[in-house]
Amino acid sequence: MRNIWIIWRKEMNSYFVSPIAYLLLTMFGLIFGFFFWNALGYFALMGMESQMRGQMFPMNLNEQVIRPLLSNASVVGLFFIPMITMRLFAEEKRSGTMELLATSPIRDLEVILGKWFAAVTLYACMLLFTALNFAFLFKYGNPDWKPLAIGYLGLLLQAGGLLAIGTFISTLTKNQIIAGAATFGVCLLLWVLEWVSGYETATWAQVLAYMSVITHFESFAKGVLDTKDVIFYLTVIFLGLFFTARSMESLRWRS
């Protein structure tokens, strides 16, 4: 436990000593802010239109602003995940510090968990940044906070899974760029897999669509906590970390 904390501290330190954390936070904040004010502007327009027509559309912040925003955040997040994880192991392998970690009295799993938690923490910081926008909503409207909380949980779970995959890919190479590019490819693939369900309903298409991380985010965006989807993400996290552990082990046997 203590060792996980030591590694976590070290990783957080190196994120925030270099510009990478600030860059990611700023970019994510800007992009999300843009989406937010867009959605809000659109919402306001809709509200005015419906008033002018004299109809009383049920206007709902949760349905019309928060839900699409959460979906957007989940997609935007896919682009940021590789930048968070690419250095985790690749950098250690390149600079030879892996030799320090591997010869210290600390288990592989502790190293992996420390690193993965640090990645998740950075992602959570990014989300926290976006929460400022929602604070605005709470000030001037009264959205339901529960679906929002569930949405955020979904974002974290989804990112947790992808970060675990990214961590795994980072163990495969010494080259950060390769790790980043490969992770990006996988993230993108896990997103677009869902598209096959648009035109095909055969079993293979269903399986592919099922594997898409976006499919499972739907329920969270709606504010529904669906156990199946929670389990899906937890499985991805577990598999990602499991393969990371296997990879670290085989690294020694192969190299």
Partner 1 sequence: MITVKELTKRYARNTAVDHISFEVQKGQIVGFLGPNGAGKTTTMRMLTCFLPPTAGGATVAGFDVLEQPLEVKKRIGYLPESPPLYPEMETGEYLSFVGKLKGLSGAELGKQVDYVCERCAVADVKNKLLGKLSKGYRQRVGLAQAIIHNPDVLILDEPTAGLDPKQINETRELIKGLAGDHTIILSTHILPEVEQTCEQVIIINKGKLVATDSVHNLQNRARGAETVLVEIAGRNGSLEMVAVQSRLQQIAGVSRVQFKTSHGNRNVFEIESQKGFVRGDLARAVVEAGWDLNELRPAAMSLEEIFLQLTGSEAPTEQAATKGAQ
Q: Which is nearer to partner 1, 3 or 60 (CB)?
A: 3
Between 13 and 201, CB nearer to partner 1: 13
Report if residue 203 touches partner 1, rule: CB under 8 A.
no
Half-sphere exposure of 149 (CA within 13 A, CB side): 3
109 in contact with partner 1 (CB under 8 A): no
Shortest reach from residue 10's CB to partner 1, in Å = 6
Q: Does 169 bind partner 1 (CB under 8 A)?
A: no
* Size of residue set near partner 1 by CB under 8 A: 23
Token representation of residue 136:
């605005």
Q: Pick the binder of partner 1 from 26, 51, 95, 235 (CB under 8 A).
A: 95
Q: Which is nearer to partner 1, 107 or 146 (CB)?
A: 107
State the chain's maximal CA–CA distance in angstroms. Answer: 73
Of the candidate residues 56, 105, 199, 202, the single one contacting partner 1 (CB under 8 A): 105
Name the one residue in this structure whose structure tokens are 């968990």: 113
**Backbone phi and psi for residue 180, each to the nearest 5 degrees, phi listed first:** -65, -45
Residue 1 sits in the site that holds partner 1 (CB under 8 A): no
Q: Which is nearer to partner 1, 31 or 94 (CB)?
A: 94
Among 76, 102, 178, 230, binds partner 1 (CB under 8 A): 102
H helices of 61-107, in order, are 61, 67-85, 87-95, 98-102
Contact 166, 82 (CB under 8 A): yes
Q: How far is CA 181 from CA 36, 82, 83, 175, 245, in A?
A: 28, 7, 9, 10, 21
Residue 127 is a binding residue for partner 1 (CB under 8 A): no
**Candidate list 51, 97, 201, 235; residue touching partner 1; CB under 8 A:** 97
Q: What token pair was written down for 139? A: 């000030």
Within 10 Å of residue 49's Cβ, how many Cβ atoms? Answer: 11
* Centroid of chain to Cα 206: 23
Q: Does 26 bind partner 1 (CB under 8 A)?
A: no
Chain residues in the site for partner 1 (CB under 8 A): 3, 6, 10, 13-14, 17-18, 95-107, 252-253, 255
